[in-house]
């Protein structure tokens, strides 16, 4: 959105106003495909997880034939909540309402409505649980409260192609962190979408990824004269090498003792880091030896839940050189640094004098994200 000679950010109230938050839930979070974990998070039939998306609650469970199914956490009888726990196992392969004991199969069909009479005329097939669309992409589980919006394939788009060389189906989680961020979900994404903050916030990351010292994501984003003059860009044009000489992955010293993924090409190996971004739900960072994901959920207008997961190939899980602390230290530190400045941003934006901010050239990706938000909300300028 242009106003005079400056590009304005979203208005300050977009980051804390409860009414705006409800609009975003309806127009964005209840309409987009959301990653809620991995298929192997459900091991045995009857296991369930409960996921909260704004005011909505979704149950995901594994049926006897090992297919995953998702439902709203609501009984079809009089609307009682079915599950009060975030995880567990449904006994005897049945989902039973704790109020009047209507029971459903693990695929959501109503199986029994006790103490009904012929005059009630209850046809069991007419009252399945309210379904939620669920699809599995390369081991990752996605749900959508409004699947009519677009397919998962359309939502993933070309970003999915970035990860074609990695065997995502064969990944296994070795570590997970949950962060409760005292900031609006958009502030987190805006921080992720610019590296202007990197020199002052991520000193170790800037040592590992030299172009970050200049406040750019990569050499293609930088001004041509910046890229030409930088002595830190020896083969960027050929292979988009991002890490400093001698470094191959994100770790404290840039090295790894783990096996590399077998099918990576020269380009993926040289880059040392490959990002795929699926707004608003998740981004993935793929390295030569592991993959890290960050999943995002809005909790409230000024609170966001982050789930950060580290994965290795299933054959590496028992590898003698797999040290989880060594694997996760660097990425975990970057997340904590980002969390700190996001929370500072949230507190400062509450100032009554601050109506909106201004975006610089190197914050183009932030501008594009804010335009996407405006389009989702049907606002002008998007």
Domain residues of the chain, as ranges? 35-144, 164-377
Same fold, 35-144 and 164-377: no
- Three-state DSSP at 277 gives strand
**How many CB atoms within 10 Å of residue 229?**
11
CB 363 within 8 A of CB 195: no
Q: How many CB atoms lie within 10 A of CB 158?
A: 7
CATH fold for domain 164-377: Naphthalene 1,2-dioxygenase Alpha Subunit; Chain A, domain 1 (3.90.380)
Instruction: Kindly report the CATH class assigned to 35-144.
Output: mainly beta
- Predicted pLDDT of residue 381: 77
Distance CA(188)–CA(279), nearest Å, equals 11
CB burial of residue 65 (10 Å; 0-12, 13-18, 19+): exposed
CA distances (Å), origin 250, targets 71, 167, 255, 327: 38, 19, 8, 8
Return d(Cα 226, Cα 214) in angstroms, integer: 9
- Contacts of residue 43, defined as CB under 8 A and 6 or more positions apart, other chains included, come to 62
268 sits in which H/E element: helix 266-271
Supply 350's token pair.
């509450």
Q: What is the pLDDT of residue 147?
A: 76
Residues 103, 303: Cα–Cα separation, whole Å: 35
Model pLDDT, residue 4: 62
Report the distance separating Cα 207 and Cα 193, nearest Å. 19
pLDDT of res. 148: 83
Owner of token pair 């601050």: 354
What radius of gyration do the chain's Cα atoms show? 23
Angle between helices 185-192 and 324-349 in degrees, nearest 10: 120
pLDDT of residue 236: 40
Give start and end residues of each alpha helix (H) in 281-363: 324-349
Q: What is the pLDDT along the chain (382 residues), one digit of tens a residue?
A: 445 678 999 999 999 999 999 999 999 999 999 999 999 999 999 999 999 999 999 999 999 999 999 999 999 999 999 999 999 999 999 999 999 999 999 999 999 999 999 999 999 999 999 999 999 999 999 999 997 878 999 999 999 999 999 999 999 999 999 999 999 999 999 999 999 999 999 999 999 999 999 999 877 776 555 444 444 333 344 446 899 999 999 999 999 999 999 999 999 999 999 999 999 999 999 999 999 999 999 999 999 999 999 999 999 999 999 999 999 999 999 999 999 999 999 999 999 999 999 999 999 999 999 999 999 999 987 6
For residue 284, what are the CA distances in angstroms to 186, 230, 287?
Answer: 18, 28, 10
């Amino acid at each position: 959105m242009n106003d005079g000679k400056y590009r304005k950010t979203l208005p300050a109230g977009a980051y804390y106003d409860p009414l705006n938050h409800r609009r975003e839930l309806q127009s964005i979070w209840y309409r987009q495909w959301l990653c809620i974990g991995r298929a192997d998070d459900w091991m045995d039939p009857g296991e369930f997880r409960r996921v909260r998306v704004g005011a909505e609650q979704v149950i995901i469970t594994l049926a006897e034939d090992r297919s995953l199914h998702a439902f709203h956490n609501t009984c079809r009888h009089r609307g009682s909540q079915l599950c009060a726990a975030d995880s567990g196992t449904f006994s005897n392969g049945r989902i039973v309402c704790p109020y009047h004991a209507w029971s459903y199969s693990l695929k959501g069909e109503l199986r029994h409505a006790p103490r009904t009479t012929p005059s009630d005329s209850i046809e069991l097939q007419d009252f399945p649980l309210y379904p939620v669309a669920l699809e599995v992409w390369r081991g990752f589980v996605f749900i959508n409260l409004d699947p009519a919006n677009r397919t998962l394939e359309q939502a993933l788009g070309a970003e999915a192609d970035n990860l074609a060389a990695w065997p995502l189906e064969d990944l296994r989680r070795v570590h997970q962190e949950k962060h409760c961020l005292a900031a609006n979900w958009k502030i987190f994404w805006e921080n992720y979408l610019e590296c202007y903050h990197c020199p002052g916030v991520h000193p170790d990351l800037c040592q590992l990824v030299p172009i970050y010292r200049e406040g750019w994501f990569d050499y293609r984003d930088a001004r041509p004269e910046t890229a030409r003059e930088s002595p830190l860009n020896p083969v960027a044009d050929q292979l988009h090498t991002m890490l400093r000489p001698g470094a191959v992955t994100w770790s404290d010293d840039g090295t790894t003792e783990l096996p590399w993924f077998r099918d990576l090409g020269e380009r993926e190996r040289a880059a040392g880091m490959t990002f795929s971004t699926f707004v608003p739900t998740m981004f993935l960072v793929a390295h030569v030896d592991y993959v890290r994901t960050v999943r995002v959920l809005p909790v409230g207008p000024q609170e966001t839940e982050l789930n950060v997961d580290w994965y290795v190939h299933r054959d590496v899980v028992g590898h003698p050189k797999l040290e989880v602390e060594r694997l996760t230290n660097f990425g975990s530190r970057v997340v904590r640094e980002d969390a700190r400045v996001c929370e500072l941003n949230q507190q400062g934006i509450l100032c009554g004098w601050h109506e909106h901010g201004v975006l610089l050239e190197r914050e183009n990706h932030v501008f594009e994200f804010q335009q996407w938000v405006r389009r989702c909300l049907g606002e002008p300028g998007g």
